[in-house]
Amino acid sequence: MPTSKPSVRRRPREEAGAKAGAGRKPRARAAKPNPPRAPKPRPKPAPKPKVPKPPRPVRLADPRKRLRVSLIGVCVVLSLFGGRLVQLQGLDASTYAATASEIGRDRFSIKAERGEILDRNGAVLANTAEAYDIAVDQTQVTNPAAYALQLEEHLDIDAGTLQQKLTGDDRFVYLAKAVPGATWRDIKALGLAGLYAHDAAARDYPAGGVAGNIVGVLGADGVGLTGLEQSMNDLLAGEDGQASYQYSPAGQRIPTSAEDSVQQPVPGTGLRLTVDRDLQWFTQQALAEAVDHAGAAGGAAVVMDVDTQEVLAMAGTPDFDPSEPGRTDAEDRGNKAVEDSYEPGSVFKPLTLAAVVEEGLADASTVYSVPDHIRRSGETIHDYYSHGEDQMTLAGIMAKSSNVGTVLAAQDLDKSTFRSYLEKFGLGTPPGIGLPAATGGILPKEWADLTRDNIAFGQGVSVSALQMASAYATIANGGVRVEPSMVAATIGPDGEETPAEPGKTTRVISEETAAEITMMMEAVMGDDGTGEPARVEGYRVAGKTGTAQRVDPDCGCYAKYNSSFMGFAPADDPQYVVVVSLFAPTNGNSGGGLAGPAFADIMRFALEQGGVAPSGTEPPQVPLFAE
């Protein structure tokens, strides 16, 4: 048996140490760092043997799919081309054709023939003359200087200006407009390449200055500037046409071009006026002589038919010749008879007394105690001559042209009623005569007592010569007013006339009142009246003188006068009204003395031309003063 050794029990080191060192202070030992241990190298694994991969199988594309994709791409491209072709040749074909047709194309306006203006008997006052607008194709001008020298004498344009217009690369440049036909034929005979002409339809005024202020004139653009040419422009002008021609790159017109087109112009509508050319000429001459004799700044005259109240003549100074518009200042190219308004003065009294008689406030024999001056509303109103307190009849007030007597006769006339009569006589409203810038004058709306007193004798109210002619024609026509007119008919392109609509008629005063006023106006022409210078031998005349204060615009005060005479004849069978007004005369101011002779001359001419027989009766004797 094996012998077992006794086991030796070992004491732990810590325990042994503790016993050995019991009672002694342990000695500190410096701790020694343990050196790092190098890692043990690991054995590298043995490389695995490379096993070759099996080859990847090759897959071929499906050719049918590739063909489908290619086919779709081709179809898309072809559809784009097809759509563009449809657009070009289908949808937009007309647009591109029109654009192509415009290449090398020029268009020219063809002036419409403007309507004629004739007098009442068919005499031509304005018509269309043969004329051309001349243009040049600069690309065909080989020597501009030589062209200019040859054209200068024909076109009345200096050679330098012509040379500038002839030089350049423009295919179309105007050289001159409204050239007479004879002039164009002379130019055409020169054989100058590149010159062309188109109808211009220039305006011609065969009567010259006769009725020039009525007819008016055209501007350089063919549009009316004054008179009937302006107010009736749309009617007279018609509608212009148009010509379209195609040219080759060399500038030659292609005569067989299918695209050539001509739109013919529509001629304008003509006018036949109520004006008589001969009477108009005489009226202008008589007025001009009266203005010169009176040393006046100007004047106006009107002749009117009583029955129709058509204007037979209408003149203003100075005369205006539309054939030579540059010789007259622009402000004188209008018509003073309708454009100028002025305070009429005593020629207004027949209208006032007509309202008095119509209202039953007096008659021709009613007597008034009339001094030579009177105080009204703090102002003094004078008669034109000094006299004592006369016992005047209403006829005497008219014959003696008493301002004071007229105020006394009208003082019981209701102001609104008085104004209503004046409106019915045509005052305060422009007459529908067809002329531009016709004035309605001034008729105050608010009336004080002094306003009524001043208006009664023709002060504080303004009128035109045409308005006064219309008012006098109303009295002469038995109290019936007809809207004045100047256009008798329109004339179509085929020459057919269409009469104008008759003017509106208004009963203003009764026939009895009109006869009463006519009788009193005849008393003006008697030995004791103021109208002796205006008598017409062999004819009874009903008339009225007027001397009115004139406002000076420089001071805004009364500084000068207007002198007028107005009336109608024969008084027993009225046919014509004549109005003559002279503005700011310097050789006196008497209406009878200055305007009366011109009235007599014009009235005599009208009566004789119209074949009116002399009066076979004597005027009635009307007392001017109380017996």
**pLDDT value, residue 220:** 77
| φ and ψ of 46, to 5 deg | -70, 130
pLDDT of residue 49: 64
**Phi/psi of residue 196, each to 5°?**
-135, 160
Q: Does position 89 have pLDDT exceeding 60, yes or no?
A: yes
Counting every residue written for the chain, the total comes to: 627
CA–CA distance, 546 with 551 (Å, rounded to integer): 16
* Whether the Cβ atoms of residue 260 and residue 106 lie closer than 8 Å to each other: no
Render pLDDT for 178-200 as a digit per residue (tens, 0 to 9). Answer: 888 889 999 999 999 999 888 77
DSSP β-ladder status, 261-263 and 241-246? antiparallel
User: Architecture of domain 277-609 in CATH?
Assistant: 3-Layer(aba) Sandwich (3.40)
Of the candidates 94, 323, 346, 402, the residue annotated as catalytic is 346
The residue whose two tokens read 């256009």 is 487
499: tokens are: 């009469």
- Residue 126, burial from CB neighbour count under 10 angstroms (0-12, 13-18, 19+): buried
CA distance 461 to 456: 9
Query: Residue 36 — pLDDT band, cuts 50, 70, 90?
Result: low
Angular region, 277: left φ>0, alpha ψ -120 to 50, beta rest: alpha
pLDDT of residue 387: 94
Beta bridge partner(s), residue 562: 548, 583
Residue type (1 letter), 76: V
Residue 492 confidence (pLDDT): 95
Answer yes or no: is pLDDT of 235 > 70: yes
- Tell me whether strands 270-273 and 117-118 are parallel, antiparallel or unpaired: parallel
Q: How far apart are CA 342 and CA 331, in angstroms?
A: 17
What's the rounded Cα separation, in Å, for the pair 302 and 603? 11
If you ran DSSP here, which 8-state letter would residue 495 be given? Answer: S
For residue 472, what pLDDT is reported? Answer: 98
Instruction: Give the residue-averaged pLDDT of 423-451.
Output: 94
User: Which class for 74: exposed (0-12), middle (13-18), buried (19 or more C-beta within 10 A)?
Assistant: exposed
Q: What is the largest CA-CA distance in the chain?
A: 212
Between CA 84 and CA 151 the distance in angstroms is 54
346 included as an active-site residue: yes
Supply the angle between the helices 349-358 and 449-456 in degrees, to the nearest 10: 120
CATH, domain range 122-204: 3.90.1310.10
Two structure tokens written together for 251 = 């500038």
Domain residue limits, the chain = 122-204, 277-609
- Measured CA to CA, the distance from residue 490 to residue 492 in angstroms comes to 7
For 517-555, the three-class secondary structure string (H helix, E strand, C coil) is: HHHHHHHHCCCCCCCHHHCCCCCCCEEEEEEEEEEECCC
What would the pLDDT profile of 66-88 be if each residue is shown by its tens digit? 777 788 888 888 888 777 777 66
Is the pLDDT higher at 388 or at 221? 388
Residue 22 confidence (pLDDT): 43
Question: Nearest-CA neighbor of 203 among 177, 231, 169, 171?
Answer: 177
pLDDT tens for residues 528-539? Answer: 999 999 999 999
Three-class DSSP category at 421: helix
pLDDT of residue 512: 98
How far apart are alpha carbons 300 and 298 in whole angstroms?
Answer: 7
Top mean-pLDDT range of 47-56, 97-106, 194-203, 324-333: 324-333
Return d(Cα 204, Cα 129) in angstroms, integer. 6
pTM over 0.85? The answer is no
**Is-contact 531 523, C-beta < 8 A?**
no
Q: What is the pLDDT of residues 240-299, one digit of tens each?
A: 888 776 666 655 556 555 455 778 889 999 999 999 999 999 999 999 999 999 999 999
